[in-house]
Amino acid sequence: MTIDIGQRLLGHSKQSQLEFNRQAVEPVRYRDMQRNVTARAKAVGQPAQRCCQPQLIQQRRVEPTDDMLSYVLAAKIDGEPIPEQDILDFCLLMFMAGLDTVATQLTYNLWHLATHDDDRHRLVAEPELWPSAIEELLRFYSFVTPGRKVMKDTEIAGCPIKAGQMVYMPLVSANRDPREFENADQVIIDREVNRHIAFGAGPHRCLGSHLAREELFIAMSMWHERIPEYRIAPGTTVMEHGGQMGISSLPLVWDV
């Protein structure tokens, strides 16, 4: 669902979505790809760049619609149209950033609620708590670890860092900081003040956060209207992976 919405924003028709999925989306579904961020970016990026987007861009130049791609093609920066390569890079960034983020968050949410009956029962009885619960689950299970290249030699907390090195910052450590959050290591689904940075901070803060919140709300509330009782399948193991963090296997069962 979430990939489908992202592709439609970028102007894909049903048919070009199928081709795009075959070349660019399927490779990242493999667990090894999830662990290796560089391999993942290559596996998705190269086909995504050459597959459907260049043809779509040509089409939209001739016949613009009301999609995001047409909007970006018409945009100007300092009076100049945006260069073709920058538009392709923008499409790739949008695609990669929205590819499996909401799906990953959904698996953490379902894992938490499958293993915390009190929280699940309360949300089923009081669905008006979904917005605060979704924020709290975003805070507690923040899976994104942004990376930055260091521009000049520096030192943080006694650790020397050289210009040109990469640093990775797991957002979850900030989001569980007891100096900011009371009972930081507990999920409190009706937490009132929640200044988390699961969507990042600063100029690169997530462009899709409103869409992500909406998708999470719809998916979680509709699931629980239909399937209020579920659990981890007995005798199975839930598998989590690092790299681009996420849950690779979440076997759930419910009664029908």
Interacting residue ranges for ligand HEM, rule: CB under 6 A: 6, 93-94, 97-98, 101-102, 105, 144, 146, 171, 198-200, 204, 206-208, 211-212
Closer to ligand HEM by Cβ: residue 207 or 252: 207
Minimum CB distance to ligand HEM, residue 213 (Å): 8
Contacts of 157 by beta carbon, 8 Å cutoff, 6+ apart = none
Q: Which amino acid is at 237?
A: T
Smaller CB distance to ligand HEM: residue 93 or 167?
93
Output the smallest distance, CB 100 to ligand HEM, in A.
Answer: 9
Closest separation in Å from C-beta 203 to ligand HEM:
6
Minimum distance from residue 235 beta carbon to ligand HEM (Å): 30
Q: Which CB atom, from 200 or from 251, has the smaller least distance to ligand HEM?
A: 200
Q: Between 95 and 181, whose beta carbon lies closer to ligand HEM?
A: 95
**Minimum separation from the CB atom of position 121 to ligand HEM (A):** 24
Minimum Å distance from CB 219 to ligand HEM?
11
Shortest Å distance, C-beta 234 to ligand HEM:
29
| 146 versus 243: smaller Cβ distance to ligand HEM | 146
Look at residues 74, 184, 96 and name the one whose alpha carbon lies nearest to residue 136. Answer: 184
CB 242 within 8 A of CB 144: no
Helix/strand/coil (H/E/C) assignment for every residue in the chain: CHHHHHHHHCCCCHHHHHHHHHHHHHHHHCHHHHHCHHHHHHHHHHHHHHCCHHHHHHHHHHCCCCCHHHHHHHCEECCEECCHHHHHHHHHHHHHHHHCHHHHHHHHHHHHHHHCHHHHHHHHHCHHHHHHHHHHHHHHCCCCCCEEECCCCEEECCEEECCCCEEECCHHHHHCCCCCCCCCCCCCCCCCCCCCCCCCCCCCCCCCHHHHHHHHHHHHHHHHHHCCCCEECCCCCCEEECCCCEEEECCEECCC
Residue 85 vs 237, nearer CB to ligand HEM: 85
Nearer to ligand HEM, 64 or 146 (CB): 146
CA quadruple 58, 39, 211, 75: dihedral sign: negative
Residue nearest to ligand HEM (CB): 208
